[in-house]
Structure 1
Amino acid sequence: MSRISEWFWTESVWLPANVSWSDVTNAPGKSVVYSELNDFLYVLPFGAMIFFVRYLLERYCFIPLGRLLNIPEKNVRKLLHNDILETAFLASPKKANFSKLSKKVDMTERQVERWWRLRSNSNKPSQLVKFCESIWKFVFYIFVTLYGLYVLWDKEWFWNFDNCFNGYPHQGVTDDIRRYYMFQTANCWYLLIFQFRAVKRKDSWQMYVHHFAAISLLSISWTNSMYRIGTLVLVLHDCGDIALEAGKALKYAKYQNACNCTFVVFITVWIGTRIIFYPNYVIAISSEYAKTATMYYVLKAMLWMLFGLHLIWTWYILQIAYKAVRAGEVEGDVRSSDSEEIEISNHSD
């Protein structure tokens, strides 16, 4: 482990040629302030803050709002309990011999199939739960996008991407950038951990990969002082999620026309930011980083991994758009495919 640690923190792995760790370590007399590993300690209080703010908003704002809008709190009608069917369902919820079970419980095969379908639906979250999740994300992404724009508005690299690597790695980090970066990192960890209890969707594995890639990207870019490109990735991803979550919440509240309009805005912003702007500007400008460092290639792999996920989700979105044009409205969840919901995120997220 000592040898692995020594290799992992080798300067040639993390830093450009002719740059040592002592060169990018804070010390009295240095003209700039560098990012440090200790900054990740901010993730703990920020993560706790996100958790408690969400809890308070859901309990005292979102749930009452959902009830006011008459969003259903329960999924299915009352299900008659049957020990034999319940045992069979728990053993294999996705596969069953309905013909054989119907003989055991003295029911028709059609009745058994209906019981099985209702039992499966009972495990799914209610419309109110999904509404609360969407409205929370909508509020959160509005806040974090505005906060990111506020922090970056006076930064030179926000208006000219060529400045992302001017003077690298001796660029210096300000307190507002540190807070913004650690808050976003805390949110990524929060999303990864609570993915286990979030609304289950068809693309859960893509979401795990997305969260892992986002955390890796943020951690690596902060450690080797490449945070300028990281801030651009964060803002670019957050802005598209606002229309996405707004559309879902409107769908659950049965405001179909508003949902349709929001979906048009969402798909336009999504393709513009994540399919066109992201690879052609953000990933392209990252090539200016010194390629002698191993972490450069790891970071580029994370960036391209995110883009690969964007392409997968874009295919889902285009399928929904095609169905919406044929049906005249966005059917089901704003991000659904067939009968199962599709999760498209972020961030970043």
Structure 2
Amino acid sequence: MSALAAWFWNERFWLPQNVTWADLADTESGEQYPRAGHILSAFPVALGIFAVRLLFERFIAKPCALRLGIQGSGPRRAQPNAILEKVFMSITKCPDGKRLEGLSKQLDWDARKIQRWFRQRRNQDKPSTLTKFCESMWRFTFYLYIFSYGIRFLWSTPWFWDTRQCWYNYPYQPLTPGLYYYYITELAFYWSLMFSQFTDIKRKDFLIMFVHHLATVGLISFSYFNNMVRVGTLVMCLHDASDFLLEAAKLTNYAKYQRLCDAFFMFFAVVFVTTRLLIYPFWILNTTMFESWDLIGPYPSWWLFNGLLLILQVLHVIWSYLIIRIAYKAMLRGKVLKDDRSDVESSSEDEDTALNGTKTIHNMSSNGANRVNGHTASGQWAEE
């Protein structure tokens, strides 16, 4: 184990030339630098965030939803039928044409009626709008809080106004209480998302989002270990800028305020594209790749760090394309279209309406999309 630890924490990988871990030990003057052990404090904080979420959803989000007229009942339940139930549970949840024909003869039902039954049966175990509203309200509240905190914290830092300050005297940059709180809170939140993903609404991209959260945790931790926390705070704040807008769009959609929903989604799309395709490459990548090269020079973890940020930029392009496509269709048809990740299928009665464009946004991957160094690791320095 000691040999493995020595290999993993090799100073020539993590730190610039002629810098050792001993150099980053606590100083006599009381200055403290990021240390790997600090990351452990994120676990109890994550459990605390998860507990706060449960209380928030029950005592704040749910009363708000009921006041807005959102009911707790889920999709309409399928008519009890032993034969179809057996097929559904044991054979297939989406029967093909041949099986539909056989069931139609066996039950003397129209094939379309059987299709409707299977659709209702698939939907009846899905969560109610009330449940989805409470989940989105919690995310909206946290994203808005952490973005507000990030802006307030960064406003008083020199590196927010001059990104070259991220690299002056690197890695001998002391860890302030505000910076530590910001990092640990972000990290703990993504740990809490990993815990809660197994109890939250199950969606088609469950595995993708799990990998996304795992990568986000890894990227936040990675930037903390080698003390790239200054630029890390910029990345986290930049990615947080659009997340609460997407959650706001979902909330207004669940409450059936369609015009407000469309407005929030359009605002989200503008902010997302602006931050990810303009500010991120010309502000963040410029400092991590070019300014840092001039001031500290490359070393192994520097290459990996920038490689991950470039992968994130590729994801930004993909997500922006998907968002722009949804926004474009929304403008053509006058309403936001249903996201492909939607966890409730259209009922047969609504099929014609669905062909003309449905109204729901149900969770774009932003965690939206998105984040590194905090946010995406399917890239969402996670997050999206």
Q: Secondary structure at the match of 2:156?
A: coil
2:34 is matched with: 35
Shift of 1:65: 1.4
1:244 corresponds to: 246
Does structure 1 conserve the Cα–Cα contact (< 8 Å) formed by 2:159 and 2:166? yes
* Counterpart-to-counterpart distance in 2, 1:10 and 1:204: 35
Match of 2:366 among 333, 344, 347: 344
Matched-pair contact (CA < 8 Å) for 1:316–1:335: no
Normalization by structure 2: what TM-score? 0.84
Give the secondary-structure state (helix, strand or coil) at the position aligned to 2:38.
helix
Other-structure match for 2:76: 77
Q: Could you tell me whether the CA contact under 8 Å between 1:43 and 1:185 is conserved in 2? A: yes
Helix, strand or coil: the match of 1:196? coil
The one-letter code of the counterpart of 2:63 is: P
Partner of 1:301: helix, strand, or coil?
helix
**What is the 5 A alignment of 1:1-349?**
2-27=2-27, 29=28, 32-91=31-90, 92-96=92-96, 97-287=99-289, 288=292, 290=296, 292-332=298-338, 341=362, 342-345=364-367, 346=370, 347=375, 348-349=382-383
Looking at structure 2, the residues matched to 249 and 310 of structure 1 have their Cα atoms a distance apart, in angstroms, of: 24
Change (3 A) 1:251 1:222: same
Moved more, 250-259 or 148-157: 148-157
Indicate the larger mover: 151-160 or 193-202: 193-202
Does the 8 Å contact 2:194/2:214 carry over to 1? yes
Inter-CA distance 304–325: structure 2 relative to 1 (3 Å threshold): same
What is the one-letter code of the residue matched to 2:256?
Answer: K
User: TM-score normalized by structure 1?
Assistant: 0.91
Tell me if the contact between 2:13 and 2:299 (Cα under 8 Å) persists in the aligned partners: yes
**Matched AA of 1:344:** S
2: CA distance, partners of 1:94 / 1:225: 51
Does structure 2 conserve the Cα–Cα contact (< 8 Å) formed by 1:204 and 1:343? no
Q: Is the 8 A contact 1:169 1:225 kept in 2?
A: yes
CA shift for structure 1 position 252: 0.9
The 3 A distance-change label for structure 1 pair 196 and 303 is farther
SS of corresponding position for 2:119: helix
Paired residue secondary structure (2:16) = coil
Root mean square deviation of aligned Cα: 2.4
**Which position in structure 1 is the counterpart of 2:346?**
none
Please report how far the alpha carbon of residue 219 of structure 1 lies from its aligned counterpart in structure 2 after TM superposition. 0.6
Shift of 1:333: 6.0
Q: How far off its partner does 1:291 sit?
A: 5.4
Aligned residues: 348
Matches of 2:342 and 2:83, distance apart in 1? 33
**Contact 2:50-2:196 at 8 Å conserved across structures:** no
Supply the AA of the counterpart residue of 2:40. Answer: L
Q: CA contact under 8 A between 2:204 and 2:341: conserved in structure 1?
A: no
How has the CA–CA distance of structure 1 residues 336 and 112 changed in structure 2, closer, same or farther, with 3 Å as cutoff?
closer
Letter in 1 for 2:264: T
Separation of aligned partners in 2, 1:211 and 1:185: 10
Q: Deviations over 1:175-195 (max 9, x none)?
A: 111111011100111122322
Deviation per CA, 1:21-60, whole angstroms, max 9, x where unpaired? Answer: 1111224x25632111121122123212211221111111
Q: d(CA) in 1 for partners of 2:84 and 2:340? A: 34
| Aligned equivalents of 1:46, 1:64: Cα separation in 2 | 26
Evaluate the alpha carbon distance shift between residue 303 and residue 206 of structure 1 in structure 2; reply closer, same or farther with a 3 A threshold. Answer: farther
| Shift in alpha-carbon separation, 1:60–1:240, aligned structure 2, 3 A | same
Q: How far, CA to CA, are the matches of 1:94 and 1:192 in structure 2?
A: 30
| Equivalent-residue separation in structure 2 for 1:217 and 1:77 (angstroms) | 43
Distance 1:244 1:325, change over 3 A: same
Question: Does the Cα contact within 8 Å between 2:231 and 2:284 map onto a contact in 1?
Answer: yes
